[in-house]
């Protein structure tokens, strides 16, 4: 006979999830510095799941700007290919826009800023290929997207900042980023809709610090 008894959620898994939620609430200004520190201290001292869940019970179930839902577009409304060119200047895509299935970004002594947080993604994979010469490409994605970042850099770099839990939906859109950067760089940031770069970095520092404390086993 199959055992249908619900399995208990591991304590440490719940603790990490609650810590992430507290950091998100702090970034959304629903917690003060003092309140965050006090709740984090209680989170790491908790010995049962109920105590951990109580730490977020009085907070908004979805802090402003913390939704990880990703909009999708009908496949027949998505163009096959587009090119963004920035030569000794800049180019930007943000707000509600529909990326093509294959996006080519070329920057020469210039820069491009691509914000996918309100984008309507094509079902499946969206490819972004960057060629950077003495310039840069900044890419901002929401947490609810699977991201694959690969590229070749010569006297430059491909890097990522931020990153919360991986999307739980196996059918979430996939953003595949690659290309070449020569004396320039491609920078990927994972940020919530409406979240500033400063807020994201602050939340990242807090989460990293608390993760280290968790690994050390306490205070």
Using one digit for the tens of pLDDT, what is the confidence trace for 48-91?
888 988 998 888 765 544 455 677 888 888 999 999 999 999 99
Owning domain of residue 98? 71-190
Higher pLDDT, 16 or 176: 176
Percent of the chain with pLDDT over 90: 37
Same-domain pairing of 62 and 148: no
Nearby residues of 7 by Cβ (< 8 Å), 6 or more positions away: none
- Please check the confidence at residue 97 and state whether its pLDDT lies above 90: yes
Average pLDDT over residues 132-148: 92
Same-domain pairing of 142 and 182: yes
Same-domain pairing of 105 and 52: no
Does a structural domain hold residue 4? no
Confidence band (pLDDT; 50, 70, 90) for 14? confident
Q: What is the mean pLDDT of the chain?
A: 82
- Identify the top-confidence range among 3-7, 53-57, 88-92, 164-168: 88-92
Does a structural domain hold residue 5? no
The sign of the torsion formed by the CA atoms of 31, 36, 38, 41 equals positive
Same-domain pairing of 33 and 130: no
Same-domain pairing of 76 and 57: no
Six token digits for residue 113: 């800023």
Confidence band (pLDDT; 50, 70, 90) for 110? very high
Same-domain pairing of 137 and 203: no
Average pLDDT over residues 119-129: 91
Q: Count of domains in the chain?
A: 2
Higher pLDDT, 113 or 8: 113
């Amino acid at each position: 006979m199959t055992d249908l008894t619900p399995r208990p959620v591991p304590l440490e898994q719940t603790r990490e999830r609650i810590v992430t939620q507290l950091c998100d609430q702090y970034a959304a200004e629903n917690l003060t510095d003092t309140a965050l520190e006090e709740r984090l201290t209680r989170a790491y001292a908790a010995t049962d799941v109920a105590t951990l869940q109580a730490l977020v019970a009085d907070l908004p179930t979805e802090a402003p700007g913390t939704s990880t839902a990703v909009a999708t577009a009908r496949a027949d409304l998505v163009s096959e290919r587009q090119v963004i060119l920035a030569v000794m200047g800049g180019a930007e895509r943000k707000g509600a826009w529909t990326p093509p299935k294959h996006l080519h970004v070329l920057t020469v002594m210039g820069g491009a800023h691509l914000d996918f947080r309100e984008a309507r993604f094509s079902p499946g994979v969206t490819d972004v290929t960057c060629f950077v010469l003495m310039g840069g490409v900044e890419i901002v994605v929401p947490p609810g997207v699977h991201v694959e970042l690969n590229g070749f850099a010569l006297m430059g770099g491909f890097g990522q900042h931020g990153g919360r839990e991986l999307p739980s939906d196996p059918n979430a859109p996939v953003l595949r980023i690659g290309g070449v950067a020569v004396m320039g760089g491609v920078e990927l940031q994972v940020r919530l809709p409406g979240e500033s770069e400063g807020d994201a970095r602050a939340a990242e520092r807090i989460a990293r610090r608390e993760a280290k404390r968790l690994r050390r086993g306490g205070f």
